[in-house]
Amino acid sequence: MRRSLLLSLACLPLLAGCALFRGNLADQPPRIVFYTPDSAELDAQAKLIVGDAADLAGNYPTAPVSVLGFADPDGTTAENRALSARRAEVVATELRRLGVAPSRITVRPRGEVSFDAVPLESRRVEIRVGQ
């Protein structure tokens, strides 16, 4: 009896975490993958972030998944648009590989965007589940 009680108490934080995770989908922040200049490759950290987004999408199987690609303002507008599209497509491909249905995924290349304070923020893909 005592062992069962202790085991139950030990599991409470896990259950509380699940309750928070299953909260309002609109309250979930986007998952963001950052890139080095002129790159569209997923490094190990990026794959973890995409995996987290795939897990979230799996918890909401009817929610749409938007993949928005961005690039920094270096280069031409056309080059940056193409780079943002490649980045978003690479992330979408990984989401599909991880089990997110292709029909749920919308890829939206946004092209160049300037972040003067932190240029890295320009080189990103945002994954939004439910939006």
- How far is residue 63's CA from residue 122's CA, in Å, rounded to a whole number? 26
How many residues make up the chain in this entry?
131
pLDDT in tens, 54-95: 999 999 999 999 999 999 988 899 999 999 999 999 999 999
pTM over 0.75: yes
| Lowest-confidence segment of 1-5, 40-44, 99-103 by average pLDDT | 1-5
What is the pLDDT confidence band of residue 14, given thresholds at 50, 70 and 90?
Answer: very low
Q: Helix crossing, 44-59 with 77-97: angle to 10°?
A: 60
**34 DSSP β-pair partners:** 124
Q: What is the CATH number of domain 25-129?
A: 3.30.1330.60
